A and B are shown apart, each in its own frame.
Chain A
Amino acid sequence: MTTVDGPVLPKLIGERVKRREDPRLIQGQATYVDDIKLPGMLHLAFKRSDIAHGVIRSIDTSAAAAMEGVELVITGAELAETLGPMPIGTPFPAPDHYSVATDKVRYVGEPVAVVVAEDRYLARDAADAIEVEYDELPAVVDPEAAMEAGSATLHEGFERNIAVESYWGGTGVNPETAQPEDDSAVDAAFAEADVVVSQRMLNQRLAPNAMEPRGVVAQYEPGREYLTVWSATQNPHILRTLVAAMMGLGEHQVRAVAPEVGGGFGCKINIYGEEYVAAALSRMVKAPVKWIEDRTEAFLTTTHGRDLLGYIDLAAKNDGTILGLKARIIADIGAYEVLLTAMIPTLTGLMMNGVYRLPVVRHELTEVFTNKTPTDAYRGAGRPEGLYFLERAVDMLARELDMDPAELRRKNFIPTDEFPFATQGGLIYDSGNYEPCLDKALDVAGWQEMLAERDAARAEGRIVGVGLSFYVEVCGLGPSAVVPTGGWEHSGVTVERGGKVTATTGASPHGQGNETTFAQMLADHFSIPLEDITILHGDTSVVKQGIGTFGSRSQAVGGAALISAAGKAGDKMKQFAAALLSEHEVAPEDLVFEDGRIQVAGAPEVSKTFAEVADFAYIPVPLPPGMEPGLSEESFFEPENNTYPFGCHISMVEVDRETGEPKLVKMVAVDDCGNVINPLIVDGQVHGGLAQGIGQAMFEEVVYDEDGQPVTASFMDYVMPRAADLPTFELDNTVTPTPVNPLGAKGVGEAGTIGSTPCVVNAAVDALAPFGVTHIEMPLRPERLWRLIQENGGQS
């Protein structure tokens, strides 16, 4: 038997492969937006409102305009002559929202004028020199008060500040009519209940705080009538579409680039006024312009997340069987609707089915304008809020019934044989197998030992509690029917001369490691070394089409598109190989990729090297009949459904009796995101998600005073989790593949954020339960906990 030289290549899918992105990042060689310098580049600075609500009486730009080195000073009203109101991506009615305020300001930080100057220090000086006079209006700060008659209103045509009202309920939504089927069943279920737990809960406003602030460089070339925009964005293709529309250009005249992007977490999905302004002003001053957000601006103007108030009622029988759920939700969306603002809170109610059989649900949602920064997606985007409300309520029910919170959940789980499962909100859960995940979490955490440890600590007079949560979320966004931008993803795969592979993906990453996971997938697909593969992304002139990275969709949708394109390229390559092996009378379908060769399955001696076939594809002499030269294929993947990963989180919290300071002493996460491409990266995603979810539970909150002045606009006042605040996380997983994409991968980016928040609050409530506490609002501030302890005389 003939032997074939060459290494045996290990399969890489499922391996902890080191990231290929890292060498440039750990040596300071990456290029973020602020690292881009173009010849003749000018700098923008924005004059921003320092009041929450008011009419602009006058703007005096004369001092700024007179400064040496200032190229242009322009007000919102002047800019509105060339830039119209900004587009949004949801079907809800929305008030006009200009990139720069034209007549009225509605939140602190809203831009009112822009300076273009030679350097950024000078631009800032000039912006400071602009004098603005306002006629102040009463600030609308409390969303419930905002809905009352007599409240000041932000926008004409939006009575009582209401942006969106939505209602559904009953025994389910009729998919034909989208109407509730039987609403009276809700009242009947509650009448029949042995026990009802009711709680008002705030899922507080958060600042996403990607470590890289936003930034944009825009260069309009008049001679070519061509615009290039570099931006710290999660979705350059959406940026291209919207900037082109705002500028009156076609998409063929715009190139959008997301260079290295320093985190997004949802806040870099929206296309912001600054991006449109940079493009417009570059055309106006005929020079490239740059704007880089500082952190204070980020707190004031980058979209916030969450801020949902929930009135939750959960009805059950004494044996723990859940009978129904009522949720009245008020979303404080801030001053305007931006790209996805109005859609995010609608996801909350949709996910409030959780992992349970819920016979009936009534859901009311009101989205309210207030004089605050607009909200949009923040890691989880609507789902963490819903799961928080539900998992807190389920925990309260367990306490009320004196049941183990794990067993109460188990009793109400959707049984494995009922998947695909249609929820009350009209979603179809693709796959699920909840009990093994719960059991694994209880086992990994040592739940029984934790309970014993808690009780022993209590006996010593310490304040200790344990908490559990079980979440399901919607990932892999999603079919085009439900994603306003289109829900597909695009990929291109080119096998180059010499047998190297270049692939493109529209799933533009900002820390997710797609350059590694996607290369792993291609390495296995073609059986070639990882080093022979380059993954390109983030540039619309390189990546033909795309949607972007959000909603944990990189793998489930982007990865599926990649594999589909690779499949097409591979099929064509086998045809070329079969032609080269024609003396052996080989059919393409008999060929496989194996260790750098294309060979007859089981007969490596009948083979050509990957490189030989690639070379032949570009100089195909003779060209096989019916074939075109070359090896470059692409694919649009449209998923048939979203994916629904799930998981169980368990934690332990100890509270200092003297100071009220909570300490998270244990955090266990057992997640099921379907098939895993790179466990190292999945662990990293879960860790980061946990830190953000714990951050919400324990530390973070955007606070406004009664005049609408933000009082948490720096890292001094907005508490971000630091290394010393967090324990070592204990992770494990179960694997329930999804049937909706060929990878079986569900997505994991948001998982950690969703389960951990209710889990940690549940643990804190358990800790203070001996003091008669049944609920604690987030964040778990020491002062808040101390008061709860004192209200009970400090005695448990």
Chain B
Amino acid sequence: MEIKGEYEFQGPRALLYELLLDPDVLASALPGVERFEEVAPDAYESTMRVGIASVRGTYTGRVTVLEQNPPESYRLQIEGSGKPGGVKADAFVELTEAGTGTTMHYRAEVKARGTIARLGGRLLGGVARLLIGQFFKAIERQVDDRAA
């Protein structure tokens, strides 16, 4: 399944690029994160709790940042699994300048298995959008904090 979209931030591109790859920022901005540790350069392990419908559960996952091209783009490989199944995603993130702000374009190919794929299949897109939305709101607050 492909998940893609874009989001407008009120902030300069370089700042956003920095925030989006800062482990501390990510740990506080990602919804439901209980643990977020750098285990190798550009590789993180985390524990996340998701409380939505049939994909409810605790997930452990690994995020690897690849192809960093600051401040324009990077790639993320995400692998997570929990009781309801697992998710693998390959995401490409691109930041473009839009006036004084920045537009983030994201495109991810997501593969699910287990209950997530079966029962959650219909929900997955919606859940992902909800979580991504929460994440962007949190990043937005960080941008505001830095700008203030």
A207 vs B114: C-alpha distance in the bound complex, in angstroms?
19
A435 within 8 A of B: no
The majority secondary structure among interface residues of chain B is mixed
Contact between B113 and A710 (Cβ–Cβ < 8 Å)? no
Known: A50-B85, A128-B83. A296 touches B118 (CB 8 A): yes
Known: A50-B85, A128-B83. A709 touches B119 (CB 8 A): no
B129 within 8 A of A: no
Known: A50-B85, A50-B86. A705 touches B117 (CB 8 A): yes
CB distance from A623 to the nearest CB of B (A): 69
A216 within 8 A of B: no
B48 within 8 A of A: no
Q: Which of A691-739 contact B (CB under 8 A)?
A: 705, 707, 709-711, 713-714, 716-717
B23 within 8 A of A: no
A108 vs B86: C-alpha distance in the bound complex, in angstroms?
13
CB distance from A137 to the nearest CB of B (A): 13
Q: Which of B98-148 contact A (CB under 8 A)?
A: 111-114, 117-119, 121-122
Contact between B119 and A713 (Cβ–Cβ < 8 Å)? yes
> Which of B83, B111, B112, B118 touches A713 (beta carbons < 8 Å)?
B118
A51 within 8 A of B: yes
CB distance from B66 to the nearest CB of A (A): 19
The listed residue with most A CB atoms (<10 A of its CB), out of B86, B111, B117, B118, is B118
CB distance from B1 to the nearest CB of A (A): 8
* Chain B residues within an 8 Å CB radius of A711: 117-118, 121
Contact between B83 and A709 (Cβ–Cβ < 8 Å)? no
A712 vs B66: C-alpha distance in the bound complex, in angstroms?
35
Residue of B nearest to A713 (CB): B118
Contact between A710 and B111 (Cβ–Cβ < 8 Å)? no
Contact between A714 and B119 (Cβ–Cβ < 8 Å)? yes
Contact between B113 and A707 (Cβ–Cβ < 8 Å)? yes
The listed residue with most B CB atoms (<10 A of its CB), out of A50, A714, A716, is A50
* Chain B residues within an 8 Å CB radius of A108: 113, 117
A50 vs B121: C-alpha distance in the bound complex, in angstroms?
14
Q: Which of B78-103 contact A (CB under 8 A)?
A: 83, 85-86
A347 vs B5: C-alpha distance in the bound complex, in angstroms?
51
A716 vs B118: C-alpha distance in the bound complex, in angstroms?
10
Residue of B nearest to A703 (CB): B121
> Which of A128, A709, A717 touches B113 (beta carbons < 8 Å)?
A709
The majority secondary structure among interface residues of chain A is loop
Interface size on B, residues (CB 8 A): 12
Contact between B114 and A50 (Cβ–Cβ < 8 Å)? yes
Contact between B113 and A714 (Cβ–Cβ < 8 Å)? no
* Chain B residues within an 8 Å CB radius of A50: 85-86, 113-114, 117
* Chain B residues within an 8 Å CB radius of A296: 118
Contact between A710 and B83 (Cβ–Cβ < 8 Å)? no
A249 vs B114: C-alpha distance in the bound complex, in angstroms?
37
CB distance from B34 to the nearest CB of A (A): 19
* Chain A residues within an 8 Å CB radius of B113: 50-51, 108, 707, 709
* Chain B residues within an 8 Å CB radius of A51: 113
* Chain B residues within an 8 Å CB radius of A713: 118-119
A128 vs B112: C-alpha distance in the bound complex, in angstroms?
18
A761 vs B89: C-alpha distance in the bound complex, in angstroms?
40
* Chain A residues within an 8 Å CB radius of B119: 713-714, 716
A707 vs B86: C-alpha distance in the bound complex, in angstroms?
13
> Which of A707, A716, A717 touches B111 (beta carbons < 8 Å)?
A707
A332 vs B119: C-alpha distance in the bound complex, in angstroms?
24
A717 vs B118: C-alpha distance in the bound complex, in angstroms?
9
CB distance from A301 to the nearest CB of B (A): 13
* Chain A residues within an 8 Å CB radius of B122: 717
Residue of B nearest to A133 (CB): B81
A108 vs B112: C-alpha distance in the bound complex, in angstroms?
12
* Chain A residues within an 8 Å CB radius of B111: 707
CB distance from A112 to the nearest CB of B (A): 13
- Chain A 150-185: CB-based contact to B (< 8 A → 1; otherwise 0): 000000000000000000000000000000000000
- Chain B 1-24: CB-based contact to A (< 8 A → 1; otherwise 0): 000000000000000000000000
CB distance from A107 to the nearest CB of B (A): 12
* Chain B residues within an 8 Å CB radius of A716: 119
- Chain A 112-128: CB-based contact to B (< 8 A → 1; otherwise 0): 00000000000000001
CB distance from B118 to the nearest CB of A (A): 4
CB distance from B120 to the nearest CB of A (A): 10
A717 vs B113: C-alpha distance in the bound complex, in angstroms?
16
Residue of A nearest to B114 (CB): A50
A707 vs B110: C-alpha distance in the bound complex, in angstroms?
11
The listed residue with most A CB atoms (<10 A of its CB), out of B86, B121, B122, is B121
A705 vs B1: C-alpha distance in the bound complex, in angstroms?
9
Residue of A nearest to B111 (CB): A707
Residue of A nearest to B112 (CB): A709
CB distance from B127 to the nearest CB of A (A): 16
CB distance from A63 to the nearest CB of B (A): 12
* Chain B residues within an 8 Å CB radius of A128: 83
CB distance from A289 to the nearest CB of B (A): 24
CB distance from A489 to the nearest CB of B (A): 40
* Chain A residues within an 8 Å CB radius of B117: 50, 108, 705, 707, 709-711
Residue of B nearest to A108 (CB): B113
CB distance from A169 to the nearest CB of B (A): 42
* Chain B residues within an 8 Å CB radius of A714: 118-119
Residue of B nearest to A709 (CB): B117
Q: Which of A36-57 contact B (CB under 8 A)?
A: 50-51
* Chain B residues within an 8 Å CB radius of A709: 112-113, 117-118, 121
A611 vs B122: C-alpha distance in the bound complex, in angstroms?
67
Residue of B nearest to A128 (CB): B83
A51 vs B85: C-alpha distance in the bound complex, in angstroms?
9
A714 vs B113: C-alpha distance in the bound complex, in angstroms?
15
A710 vs B119: C-alpha distance in the bound complex, in angstroms?
10
A705 vs B124: C-alpha distance in the bound complex, in angstroms?
14
* Chain A residues within an 8 Å CB radius of B118: 296, 709-711, 713-714, 717
CB distance from B69 to the nearest CB of A (A): 29
A-B contact pairs, 10 of them (CB 8 A): A50-B117, A296-B118, A705-B117, A707-B117, A709-B118, A709-B121, A710-B117, A713-B119, A716-B119, A717-B118
Extra inter-chain contacts (14) besides given A713-B118, A717-B122, CB under 8 Å: A50-B85, A50-B86, A50-B114, A296-B118, A707-B113, A707-B117, A709-B117, A710-B118, A711-B118, A713-B119, A714-B119, A716-B119, A717-B118, A717-B121
Q: Which residues of A contact B (CB under 8 A)?
A: 50-51, 108, 128, 296, 705, 707, 709-711, 713-714, 716-717
Q: List the 10 shortest-distance A-B pairs measured between CB atoms, nearest first.
A: A50-B114, A709-B117, A713-B118, A50-B113, A711-B121, A51-B113, A50-B85, A128-B83, A707-B111, A709-B113
